[in-house]
Each structure stands twice: as C-alpha cells, then as structure tokens.
C-alpha cells in the first residue's frame, strides 16, 4: 500500500474504528508485566517503544516523515486515552515532550534525520540539563560555559535535578556562550553525548528511595558545533519552546492517567466501606470535578499547539492544575487509608503495594519541577490575566 492510499484508508476510518483498532493493537502487543530489575525495565521499555514505531502507533502528533502518526486533534485525544487505559510503559527520559518539538521547529534537516526517529523508538534516552545549583527558577542566571574552539565547543560546569540522567544517552543542555552578565541573550542550546570524555553523572536519591534525578558535571567536554540547535547566543527562544511543550506535552496523557487513578481510588474507597463517610464523598466529588477540568484544559492546549504551533501561557495553567491535583489526591488517599496508608511497599501488609504512599512521597516535588508554582503563577498573571510585569524578575 502506498503512503497516499494508506492515508486515504485512514481518513475513511471513523474515530471509533480508530479507537477499536488501537485498543486491539495494545491488547495484542502488550509488553507484559513490568520487570523488577532496573536494567531489565529499561530494555523492556525501549523494546515496547520500538514496537510502537515499527507498527505505526507512536508519536500521535509527530509528522509522519519522522515516524509519527500526524493524527488530527480528536484522535490524539483518543490515543492518549487508550494508552493510559492500557497501562503500557511511557517513554524513558524527557526528550519526546521537550527537545523533540524544539528540534522539529529549529533543527537542521540533518539533525532531524539523525535524532528524531531514534528518539521516538527509544533507541537513545534523552535527558534535560537546564537547572544548576544557582540557577533553577531563574534560568537566565546559568553559569555552565561553552567556549568555541574552531568547530567545537569546550563545555565546563554543572547541571542538577536532571530527570533520568542516570540512564540517559544524550543531554540537551543550556550553556553560556555570552558574557557572565549576558543572561538570556548569551545562552546557547547544545546536544551533548552522555559518553563523551569529561562527562560525569551522579545519581541523587529521592524521598521515596529511588534515583529518578541526577547531577551532571562537564569538565572540558568537547561538543561539535553541528550539535548546536539554532544559532549561538540565541538559545533563549528555543528554551521557551521547550519549556512550553514540557508543560503541555503530557497534558492529555496525564488527564487520562489521572482519570484512571481517581476511578481506582474511588473503587478502593468503596471496597473499604469508606464512601459512607460524607466527607470522603465530598473530597472524591471535588477530585472528579478537577480531573474533568484538567482534561478540558489539556484539550485547549493541544488545540492551541495545532493552530498556533505553540502551547502558549495556558500550559502554565495546566501545570498548576495538575501539580496541585496530584499532591492533593495522594495526600487524601494516604489520609483516607489511615495507618494502612503509611505502610511501605516492601511490606506484605501494604495496600496495593504501597502505591498511594509512593505517590504521596514522589509528588511532594511536583510544585518545584518543570518550573516552580511561583513561576507558573507569574506567567499566568502576566500573559493570561495581563497583570503588570513583576519588577523583581529578570528583564524579558
């Protein structure tokens, strides 16, 4: 079947036929139980995403030329709902939702050809290197430097709170190529090989006992100029694209996932006879309202990306809604379970393998990661509500 005839066949398919086809594929091709061994889990996840790409079920919003499905808006919604329903593994690292839209928009043809499809298949795990010990919310204050020598940059500095840094193969980073006082006007966007000489990665243990985050150190790391996205000292507009898509990328998937999680929490409350308590019912009703609002806002964000190419400030609204929701939901779940809610997953007495306590511990950082809640509120105030610009913040 040619590409044209295949497209005509897909166009003739109804949304419900598409849903049924996708659901059947996910059921027939399920990767099976999640391995416990960390190394096996990485390999298992990579194999699943390669299966999605190879069968044409990956990248719902991506252009077809890079391995995506290029779905219309309604089918992107269906896709995210069915992926969440099937409980299959999500992508490793943070590349798909953050650097991929940046490469698609700003990358050269060679860069797109070299990086996009392997990223979608999971052949390479990508990790964001933005934050530094002295530059988190105030990202333009970053100090990691890149000095150009011929056709290479020599990078020195440190990044921190890098999600999936321990298992990453590639870093997309921000470096200072301008003067120390140049702030956002002297920032460049570089892609750095995790295995290049001079790169050191150290895991950071989190509250739940894992090592989701890492810190990385660059000691005279040489990076080819061809691995720069965009122009030198003009990385800040790319950062804004990356951050906007980071906040919007998983919006629909998160909405579908939390729809399922809330339903499972309601079922648990019923099983334990707790829904007779009017206070429990009141809180569950509040969560039901909020999870629907999260979905509606996710639809608005995706619609904005499709029509304007950027998620805009509504991505900050989504980020605020989701982080507050997931913190409140898990805090309520632990409270509702009483003493059972604080039993660790290693115990045979743990309720549902301690998933609610695990979620409670992990979501304590939700209002910090991907831009603090304070930064999101500033964005909403200035760009959505059109309030005066905060003079305490760095100049735009």
> Active-site residues: which are they?
246
Strand partners, 173: 129, 190
Q: Cβ neighbours of residue 263 under 8 Å, at least 6 residues apart? A: none
Q: Give per-residue burial for 167-192: e unless 16+ CB within 10 Å, then b.
A: bbbbbbbbbbbbeeeebbebbbbbbb
Structure tokens at 315: 């991505």
What is the C-alpha separation between 291 and 298, in angstroms, rounded?
11
Query: DSSP character for 186?
Result: G
Residue 333, SS3?
helix
* Sequential DSSP letters for 78-137: HHHHHHHHHT----SSSIIIIIHHHHHHH--HHHHHHHHHHHHHTSS-EEEE--BTTBSS
Output helix, strand, coil percentages for the chain, rounded to the nearest 5: 55, 15, 30
Strand partners, 145: 156, 176
Q: How many other C-beta atoms lie within 10 A of the C-beta of residue 383?
A: 14
Q: How many other C-beta atoms lie within 10 A of the C-beta of residue 10?
A: 16
């Amino acid at each position: 079947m040619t590409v044209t005839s295949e497209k005509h066949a897909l166009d003739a398919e109804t949304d419900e036929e598409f849903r049924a086809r996708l659901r059947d594929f996910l059921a027939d091709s399920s990767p099976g139980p999640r391995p416990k061994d960390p190394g096996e889990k990485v390999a298992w996840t990579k194999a699943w995403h390669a299966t999605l790409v190879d069968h044409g079920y990956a990248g719902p919003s991506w252009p077809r030329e890079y391995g995506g499905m290029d779905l219309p808006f309604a089918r992107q919604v269906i896709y995210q709902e069915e992926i969440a329903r099937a409980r299959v593994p999500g992508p490793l690292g943070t590349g798909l939702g953050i650097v991929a839209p940046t490469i698609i928009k700003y990358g050269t043809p060679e860069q797109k050809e070299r990086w996009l499809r392997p990223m979608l298949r999971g052949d390479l795990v990508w990790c964001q290197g933005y934050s530094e010990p002295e530059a988190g919310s105030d990202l333009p204050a970053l100090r990691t430097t890149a000095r150009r020598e011929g056709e290479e940059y020599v990078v020195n500095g440190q990044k921190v709170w890098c999600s999936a840094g321990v298992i990453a193969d590639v870093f997309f980073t921000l470096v200072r190529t301008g003067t120390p006082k140049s702030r956002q006007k002297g920032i460049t966007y570089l892609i750095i090989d995790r295995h290049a000489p001079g790169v050191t990665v150290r895991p950071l243990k989190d509250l739940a006992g894992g090592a989701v985050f890492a810190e990385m150190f660059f000691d005279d790391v040489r990076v080819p100029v061809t691995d720069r996205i965009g122009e030198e000292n003009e990385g800040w507009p790319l950062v804004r694209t990356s951050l906007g898509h980071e906040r919007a990328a998983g919006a629909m998937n998160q909405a579908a996932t939390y729809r399922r999680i809330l339903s499972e929490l309601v079922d648990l409350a019923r099983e334990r006879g707790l829904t007779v308590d009017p206070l429990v019912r009141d809180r569950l009703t509040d969560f039901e309202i909020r999870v629907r609002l999260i979905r509606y806002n996710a639809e608005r964000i995706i619609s904005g990306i499709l029509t304007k190419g950027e998620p805009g400030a509504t991505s900050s609204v989504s980020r605020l809604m989701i982080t507050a929701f997931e913190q409140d939901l898990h805090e309520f779940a632990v409270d509702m379970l009483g003493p059972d809610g604080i039993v660790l997953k290693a115990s045979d007495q743990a309720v549902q393998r301690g998933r609610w306590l695990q979620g409670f511990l992990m979501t304590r950082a939700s209002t910090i990661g991907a831009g603090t809640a304070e930064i999101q509120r500033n964005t909403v105030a200035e760009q959505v509500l059109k309030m005066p610009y905060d003079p305490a913040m760095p100049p735009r």
